[in-house]
Amino acid sequence: MTDQRVMEAAGGTILFDAARAAQVDDDWFTPDAWARQGALRAQAGGRGGVAIIDTPAGEAVLRHYRRGGMVAALLGDSYLFTGAERTRSSREFRLLAELARRGLPVPAPLAARHVRHGLAYRADLITLRIPEARTLAERVADGAFNEALARRVGELVARFHREGAWHADLNAHNILVNGDGLYLIDFDRGRLRRPSARWRRANLARLKRSLVKVGAREGGDMFDEVLWPAVVQAYEEGFRA
């Protein structure tokens, strides 16, 4: 269970889990501040603006929200402010906390922040890092996407769909694999909704397109004849469980 606290910050608010971090301030969301402490482990740009940081609560992932697609050049990392509870960072933090409460394998939310700039805001989210994990896309590239792993992927997605957890970008980069199991990450714009065949099928179709894009079909007929049917079969069995 999370101990969710909200505190005022410069130009906005910080939402954090007091059970994991007794105090969080604006420096937590600044990679340079972690670098000055020797606690910045890695940093990557791109849409996510992701940094790996060593926090008092453990190794964590700091993500700055950025837009993708054609609007990115125009609006970048700015979003229309319609209330603190409706910011993307706050929504994702609370959704992750609820999914974790239900026993689903997601990264634990540590802290979220938004900073207002007039009618717009910018946002960040910190989650605990899944240790020694690789993405499903990396496993495909390494030739490790076999029938057993395919079944585990189907079972994973079924667990979330049974709870009505809709992922806005279900793809091979957002499924992590480590020695403990599989995890689903990056729930930006995700939400809980009443399960329906329509959105569940669309979610699975998105995952299939992603697997094909990262090369799962390059081994010949194996993907279409064995691997994807294994995903679907395990999904259907898991969803009915």
Q: Is the dihedral of CA 48, 50, 55, 60 positive or negative?
A: positive
- E strands within the chain? 4-9, 12-17, 40-44, 50-55, 58-64, 79-80, 109-117, 120-128, 134-135, 165-166, 175-178, 181-184, 191-192
Of 93, 95, 25, 32, which Cα lies nearest the Cα of 56?
25
180 as an active site residue: the answer is no
- DSSP-based three-state secondary structure for 167: coil
Which one of the listed residues 124, 142, 169, 186 is annotated catalytic?
A: 169
Pairing of strands 79-80, 120-128: antiparallel
Q: Which amino acid is at 59?
A: E
Residue 41 DSSP label:
E
Residues taking part in catalysis: 169
